[in-house]
Structure 1
């Protein structure tokens, strides 16, 4: 009993102890945060314990998580601006606050977000251009200069700041005019000085003008007399050229007045406008020299009125580029002007001259379309005297004028250099000639006196001239000199060709074994070619007599066309031999009408349409002008195309007949030989005139050799193909030679009988071919 009582008391004590422990562990230690955690920290409670953390902007001096047992730990404020100097970015300032920070833009910069204070990454600071935002920031007669984060003001030339500071801020100073005439009494000596707002003027007396133009150079400029050219007469009708003269005189007379005209405005609105009107119509040769002189004078008269050292003005019809220099000592060094088509280069000593007055100017005037009006104004006699093989010339560059302020440029040893762009690519048969416009009694012409060609390629030509005027580049077409080899080939080849053609004519006329339609065609083809070669050899270069030269050209036109028409008949006859076997012959009157009638008709129409087209400066042949040469090449091309068509059909039909069941091999082989020789003949004659087209057009030496060889030896080719390669003709030649040789050993009667017997056997053997 007593033991049980003791156990009960022990259980009650254990339960009581557990209740007390539970009550103790459920208590909230963060209920009094001041007692639990230090200042600037936050208390966090858990079931078993609690801990403290510093609030944002503060950092623990000990552990990150700590309790009240860490007596030496507290929260210290973080200085973000000190720890990261670039925290706010460029052009911004960082301000530290209790537990935080803020950014703001520096003076002269503005926040991109519009917020005055911002955190990192929320905005950027951009520079404020005070001068642009307020054009009147610095006040009158002052200039504003923007700097990084700031600006500064300075007075314009001719004004001084009231504060005495060269650079100042808005409101710190006022710019007042400097009276140069009072401060420097001798600044315009010996002429009168007149103060102006921001400057001064040195006024020459009426009839004179400052030697350095509108800008007076102290201690160097002087007044020089004006020589104004006469304007148009009062009763003279108003013309663009006369208007330019009037403006030129008015500008000259106004230069001594206080209100001198604006040089750039004068050039752009007055001078170029009248020149544009003038050049819209035709410009006669008699006006060219006067036009060039007036334009150059007008441009040079306006140069002293220009402010800038370099001026470039473009109009509709021309462009002007001007370089000028005002100096106290003679300028030195190169000077270059350029437009899209030409570049001018010289040196300042040439521009200024020896007796310089303190002002030098050079002008380059580029005319955009003037070459069309001047493309036939050549000093042909002078060019021909220097170049005997010259055939034709034409302008191949834009026309330009060059003018300088030096009144006597010929006294200087330096030259003026030009680089022209070609209007058309230059080929190897052309030569670039640098020319200038030479004034003469006839109105003027292009001449190469005083100009030389330094270098030329396909696209550009460099020129050097020892005087000034208007310049351009001519493309001169030269006839290559006939070499001894070409002449030898022509004479030997054509001589041999004529002999062979004569033998062919005799063969086709006398040999009975080849009598027929085909031999008739070959006979007249050889006759036409014989006459054409004979006329070619005798008169192709006889250009001194215009009438005789035209006759030679007409005969060549007719007989060379006849060669091709008879060759076309051969193609037609071969076609009929294969396709219409039973009617292969052609009536003679139809052949003559086709072979000679068509060439006569073409020549007649051509002569009636363009009689001047027969005969050129180089050859007695058809002119290349206006495509007249196609009165020959056109029919030739048509005939060649028809023959090619006939030969293709013929070869195709021959192939079909060879593959047939029972072909007539002997006849087909003969037609095959005929076709082969006809095709070869077409190739030779066709190729000859293909190269002949280049011969008369581009003057290429290589083409001339090929054309000469084919032309000179075509009679030999025909004799070989139609006579020596023909078995019947060879047999006739052999019989003829045998007859001639056997006359010495045998009697004339037996030789003749043997020859006649042999001829009779041969004629009987080839009866079928004779009908062809």
Structure 2
């Protein structure tokens, strides 16, 4: 049994009966032409609404044709009554009210003049359809912009909800358009949704197509596909474009792509439907034109896809969708069926340079060792424990944890929730590191400025109150806001880091750029202050030594205060590869520079190291002398050693 028989049992009975008769008379009756039936297994006759080309009721001529009778023209000329007109269709006809009139029953058509109740519509009735359409669009916008609802939904529920929404919107839009068939073209648009409908009430000329536009997209559909042949009364086509739906149903719901490629949604999502009969198959493909909302230079392949509903909810599929043309700004697709469509673009993941990878891992390993030694030094060396060493210690700890997490977990992308947590932790630790670099730059500037200030205690009190709220608090606020607004952008298919979509990476780059600029200003101010002090002729020797040491520290801290990150912004053009190597080397050795400047170049730290080494060697000497005894003399062999 045909699946179309289920809702129409009477029609099914007629179809099965006619099929049985045709099977019984097959071979006995002459082969009847299209729109004709066999009579008594000997003759053919045209079906109701058709007439033979020879005007004979019964015929046996095998090349005879049955033509449609136009009941709306002479000699028949069906009369439909006042303010109404006859509309011919294939094999039949119907009556409809003229434009500006409607039936009291609200129906779109009738069959006889005695059913004519056509009355003139009022202005309020004419505009009611537009108001209803506007209400539908506003309801859709309210639903799509509710981030709380979508954020709480599970992935499977989102698929099913999305499928239901699309089908419901299509039905409502078509139903609203068909209520006023005299308004052939209707358009409604707001911030997130755009709708255009086209109502067709006449027979279509061969090859006629209609173009429907919604926001930046358009659809060309054949007129005959809108009418669908056997449909009596007006038909309509609807074209809907959603500007924000792609944030909910994105490229992650597309499974037909190589895992090595990254896929993203390059267009708005659109829906196409015809009614009142919801037939999705077409005699001719529809042509869909999309304007890109995202453009990537390294495009590998463009996919024309539609939303396919399944038991699991649905997913993007390419079945029946074909790419006709694509450039940097537009993509043109064709489809053999109607549904919801979009354009997905895949591009190659950038291959990592093995040499840069080795440099990164070796450099970060050295930095980890140096940062650990530096932290132990700041904790154990009492001679240098002050506000400055506290800043050094916190910077060393943050960088140590960030580098350690980077080396061990940056590629743990298998579990998305865990990857998002790792990305959030890295975001926090690296931001905290840069904030401690900012405090380092501020402290260096205040130290240089204090050479001309008598009272230094107020500066130390200020730094002690400021450093922990800024160093750890500001980064926590930034990460909390970022995670609350776009939690799904923590973690990428390649790395557990911030996603590049929606410019989310600026949640890290923005503060970093600001800190680098401020630190660079501090660096210039320190050099200017030191230059003025060195030009003074009556400076004391101790002051000059302090100035020289500060000058050396200020120059060395260019590497510590994050200024080498500027090399990352210079990775473009012919020098991009060179800058990439310089950037990787300088920043992966940041821990080494901290240990070098704050520990190895410090006279107090070197003295402390010397005392530790001396204290270890003294017990060994005491043990050797006790073995020999107070009166013993070393042998010749011992003296040589």
TM norm structure 1: 0.48
1:320-469 mapped onto 2 (5 Å cutoff) = 320-321=197-198, 331=206, 335=209, 337-339=211-213, 341-345=216-220, 365-367=238-240, 370-372=242-244, 374-375=245-246, 378=249, 382-384=253-255, 386=257, 388=259, 396-397=267-268, 399-401=270-272, 403=274, 410=281, 415-422=285-292, 424-428=293-297, 433-439=303-309, 447-469=317-339
Name the counterpart of 2:532.
656
* Partner Cα separation in structure 1 for residue 451 and residue 396 of structure 2: 27
3-state DSSP of counterpart to 2:107: helix
Give the match for residue 410 of structure 2.
540
**Contact 2:196/2:239 (<8 A) preserved:** yes
Q: CA offsets per residue over residues 501-536 of structure 1, 9 Å max, x none?
A: 345556777899988875664455334322221122
What SS does the corresponding residue of 2:77 show, helix, strand or coil? strand
* Matched ranges for 1:18-97 at <5 A: none
| Greater displacement, 677-686 / 704-713 | 704-713
Return the alpha-carbon distance in structure 2 between the equivalents of residues 545 and 319 of structure 1.
39
Distance 1:440 1:265 in 2: 45
Contact conserved, 1:191 with 1:203, CA < 8 A, in 2? no
**Higher RCO, Cα 8 Å, sep 6+:** 2
SS of structure 2 residue aligned to 1:251: coil
Question: Which residue is equivalent to 2:549?
Answer: 670
Query: Map of 1:516-665 to 2, 5 A cutoff?
Result: 521-542=391-412, 544=415, 546=417, 550=421, 553-554=424-425, 557-558=428-429, 560-562=431-433, 564-565=435-436, 568-569=439-440, 571-580=442-451, 594-596=466-468, 598-602=470-474, 616-618=490-492, 640=516, 643-663=519-539, 664=541, 665=544
Residues 69-468 of structure 1 mapped to structure 2, 5 A cutoff: 201-202=77-78, 214-215=87-88, 221-223=90-92, 250-251=107-108, 253=110, 272-282=130-140, 286-293=164-171, 295-296=173-174, 312-314=185-187, 318-321=195-198, 331=206, 335=209, 337-339=211-213, 341-345=216-220, 365-367=238-240, 370-372=242-244, 374-375=245-246, 378=249, 382-384=253-255, 386=257, 388=259, 396-397=267-268, 399-401=270-272, 403=274, 410=281, 415-422=285-292, 424-428=293-297, 433-439=303-309, 447-468=317-338
Q: Deviations over 1:474-513 (max 9, x none)?
A: 5669794663636545433322332343455567778999
- Point out the structure with the larger helix share: 2
Match of 1:170 in 2: none
CA distance in structure 2 between the aligned counterparts of 1:433 and 1:224, rounded to whole angstroms: 43
SS of the aligned residue for 1:466 comes to: strand
Unpaired runs of 5+ residues, structure 1, are 1-184, 205-209, 227-245, 695-699, 750-772
CA RMSD of aligned residues (A): 6.3
Q: Secondary structure at the match of 1:367?
A: strand
Whether the aligned pair in 2 keeps the contact of 1:403 and 1:469 (CA below 8 Å) is: no
How far did residue 402 of structure 1 move?
5.0
Which of 1 and 2 has greater Rg? 1
**Cα distance, 1:496–1:253 mapped onto 2, change above 3 Å:** farther
1:537 shift after superposition? 1.8
Equivalent pair of 2:307/2:315 in contact (CA under 8 Å): yes
Please name the residue that 1:483 is paired with. Answer: 352
Query: In structure 1, what is the equivalent of residue 561 of structure 2?
Result: 682
SS at structure 1 position matched to 2:361? helix
Between the aligned partners of 2:381 and 2:72, the Cα distance in structure 1 is 114
Q: Which runs of 5+ in 2 are unaligned?
A: 1-54, 57-65, 96-102, 144-161, 622-641
Separation (CA, whole Å) in 2 of partners of 1:620 and 1:248: 63
Q: 1:621 to 1:650 in 2, by over 3 A?
A: same
CA shift, 1:604, in A, is 5.8
Matched-pair contact (CA < 8 Å) for 1:288–1:443: no
Whether the 8 Å contact between 2:437 and 2:560 is mirrored in structure 1 is no
Residue aligned with 1:660, SS: coil
Residues 567-605 of structure 1, C-alpha deviations (whole Å, 9 max, x = no match): 523542453244336667999998676554543434665
Kindly provide the CA deviation profile for residues 655-675 of structure 1, in whole angstroms up to 9, marking residues without a partner as x: 222222334554433222111
